[in-house]
Each structure stands twice: as structure tokens, then as C-alpha cells.
């Protein structure tokens, strides 16, 4: 029986790439409205983990339940889950042949069957929220990296998802553009969105996360509220990792 307060519940989940064991025995219960930050060294499986939540990657063992829908081979379930989860990628992945506005209204019109003028109204509202309504008629290639990532966030929000997945949203940005994206994410967190973020932005984690999860070698090593996680890490691998990214 799924707890009705769970947004995502992952039980004993394993993921293999061929013979490579990428995720090992993952157990995770994420409540509605909770903000999770996942960190860990590269290759630790953190991106793979959140890509499993909307089936960009397929898990082999165990179960993933998103908002009460079981993620299995049933295509209707996969569609249902993808409608309810928005995703933001490291490299933005905007559609370069469409304007910013077209990027935002495409899925609401095709998937949610929204009428164009309503979809456009919602999209403009969200573009205003990420502070770039004036770029609506431009093409992604004409925007800076930070602007593109904010468009990508608005595009995901246009589907009115219940959960937002962020896969290293600031890793491909020039340093001076990171804060404009983080500001949008902080705003979203304050509105009560359920967020699962893979990121190395520890300031962001301290500020908004309810729980920080540390992964290494395909396993969840440690999870704790940010104060405890940063000030009093229990596991030595966590300590070593924090020493590396905070120590300079």
C-alpha cells in the first residue's frame, strides 16, 4: 500500500547497464512538497537515479512508484508519470527550431490538449515568473545559457507537473549565470513544489533542501537534513567528498 503522502517511493531498486551494476538496492521515500538534493562524485549514479524516475532509464529490479502510479512496462503508466513530472537537463535541450514560446506551448497542446490561446497565456505567465517574457519570440540559439535554462524550467512548468526533476541544471553554465537559475529554483521551492535536484550547489542545498542525499558507487551512502549533513556527516566517504568540494 502506498502512502498517499508519498510523491516518489523507490523500493529495493537495481539498475544495470549490461553487466555494470549502476544502482544498487536504492530505497527512497520522498514526500509531497519535499525538496531533495542529491550529490556525490561523478559516476556515482545520481543522474541515473533521477532519470529512472521518469523512465528515461529503465530499472531492472525493485519498484518505483510515482504519485501512486507504478512505473512498469505499461505504457499508459509511463505516460501518466511523465505528464506529472517535469525535468530540467544539464544541457537545457530546448528545441532549437522553435521559438521560446513554441517550446513552452508544444507539450501542453499535444499532451494536455490545451487550446493554443490558453497554452500561450500560461506560458507567458511562466516566462514572466522566470523573468524573460520579452524573449518569447526569440529562438533558443539567440539566448544566453542562463536564459535558456530558465526557458527550460518554464517549459517544464507549463505541463503543470507535481514533481520537478533537476539533472545538474547549473553545471553547463558560466559562473555569472548560475545565480539567475538558482533564484528561479529557490522561488519554486518556496511555492511548495516537490523537487528532486542533482546538483553540487551546496549553498542552494543548505537554503532550500529538506534532505540531502549522498551517493557513491551506485548506492545511497547517507541522507540527512542539510544542517546535520554539512556540519556533522557520519560516513567517511561523505566527509571526504565534502572535504573536496567545500575545502577550498
Partner 1 sequence: MAQTYSGPGVFKRIRDDYFSTRLNTVVTLGFAAFVIWVVWSLFGWGIQQAIWSPADKDHCGHGSGGACWAVIAARWRLIFFGLFPFEEQWRSGIACAAIVLTGGLSCVPWFWSARRLSALWIIGFAVFYCLMRGGFFGLTLVSEQNWGGLSLTIFIFASVTLIGMPLAIVFALLRQSRLPWIARTMGVVIDTIRSLPLLSILFTFAIVIPFVLPGWMIGDKLYRVIVGYALFFACYQAEIIRGGIQSLPAGQDEAAMALGMSYWNRISYIILPQAFRNALPATINQLVITFKETSLVVIIGFFEILASGNAAYGNAEWNFAHVEVYCFVGLIYFTFVFALSRYGAYLERRMAVVER
Binding stretches for partner 1 (CB under 8 A): 54-56, 79, 82-83, 85-87, 89, 91, 93-97, 106-107, 110-111, 139, 141-142, 152, 155-156, 159, 165
The smaller minimum CB distance to partner 1, of residues 53 and 212, is found at 53
Phi and psi for 180 in degrees, rounded to 5?
-65, -30
Rg (alpha carbons) of the chain, rounded to whole number: 18
| Residue 18 CB, nearest approach to partner 1 (Å) | 15
The smaller minimum CB distance to partner 1, of residues 95 and 244, is found at 95
| Residue 116 CB, nearest approach to partner 1 (Å) | 14
The smaller minimum CB distance to partner 1, of residues 109 and 242, is found at 109
Q: What is the CA 6 to chain-centroid distance, rounded?
A: 17
The smaller minimum CB distance to partner 1, of residues 96 and 225, is found at 96
The smaller minimum CB distance to partner 1, of residues 27 and 142, is found at 142
> Are the CB atoms for 211 and 200 separated by under 8 Å?
no
Q: Please choose, from the candidates 37, 38, 31, 72, the residue with its C-alpha nearest in 3D space to the C-alpha of residue 55.
A: 72
The smaller minimum CB distance to partner 1, of residues 85 and 194, is found at 85
Structure letter (DSSP) for residue 142: G
Reading the block at residue 36, the C-alpha cell is 531533495
| Residue 83 CB, nearest approach to partner 1 (Å) | 4
| Residue 96 CB, nearest approach to partner 1 (Å) | 6
Q: Please choose, from the candidates 80, 35, 16, the residue with its C-alpha nearest in 3D space to the C-alpha of residue 213.
A: 35
Grid cell 508519498 — which residue? Answer: 6
Q: Can you give the three-state secondary structure of 197-222, one letter per residue?
A: EECCCHHHHHHHCCEEEEEECCEEEE
| Residue 98 CB, nearest approach to partner 1 (Å) | 8
Q: How far, CA to CA in Å, does 166 sit from each of 53, 115, 224, 243?
A: 12, 28, 19, 24
| Residue 112 CB, nearest approach to partner 1 (Å) | 8
Amino acid at each position: 500500500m502506498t502512502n498517499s503522502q508519498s510523491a516518489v517511493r523507490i523500493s529495493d531498486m537495481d539498475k544495470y547497464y549490461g553487466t555494470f551494476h549502476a544502482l544498487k538496492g536504492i530505497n527512497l521515500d520522498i514526500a509531497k512538497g519535499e525538496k531533495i538534493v542529491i550529490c556525490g562524485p561523478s559516476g556515482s549514479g545520481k543522474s541515473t537515479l533521477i532519470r529512472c524516475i521518469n523512465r528515461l532509464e529503465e530499472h531492472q529490479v525493485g519498484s518505483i512508484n510515482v504519485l501512486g502510479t507504478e512505473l512498469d512496462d505499461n505504457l499508459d503508466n509511463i505516460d501518466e508519470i511523465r505528464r506529472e513530472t517535469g525535468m530540467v537537463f544539464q544541457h537545457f535541450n530546448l528545441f532549437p527550431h522553435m521559438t521560446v514560446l513554441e517550446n513552452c506551448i508544444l507539450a501542453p497542446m499535444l499532451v494536455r490538449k490545451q487550446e493554443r490561446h490558453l497554452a500561450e497565456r500560461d506560458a507567458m505567465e511562466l516566462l514572466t515568473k522566470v523573468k524573460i517574457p520579452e524573449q518569447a519570440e526569440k529562438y533558443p540559439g539567440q539566448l544566453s545559457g542562463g536564459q535558456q535554462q530558465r526557458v527550460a524550467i518554464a517549459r517544464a512548468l507549463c505541463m503543470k507537473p507535481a514533481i520537478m526533476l533537476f539533472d545538474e541544471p547549473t553545471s553547463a553554465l558560466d559562473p555569472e549565470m548560475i545565480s539567475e537559475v538558482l533564484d528561479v529554483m529557490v522561488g519554486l521551492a518556496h511555492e511548495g513544489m516537490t523537487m528532486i535536484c542533482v546538483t553540487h550547489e551546496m549553498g542552494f542545498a543548505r537554503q532550500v533542501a529538506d534532505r540531502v542525499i549522498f551517493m557513491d558507487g551506485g548506492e545511497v551512502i547517507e541522507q540527512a537534513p542539510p544542517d546535520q549533513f554539512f556540519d556533522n556527516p557520519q560516513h567517511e566517504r561523505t566527509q571526504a567528498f565534502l572535504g573536496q568540494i567545500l575545502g577550498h
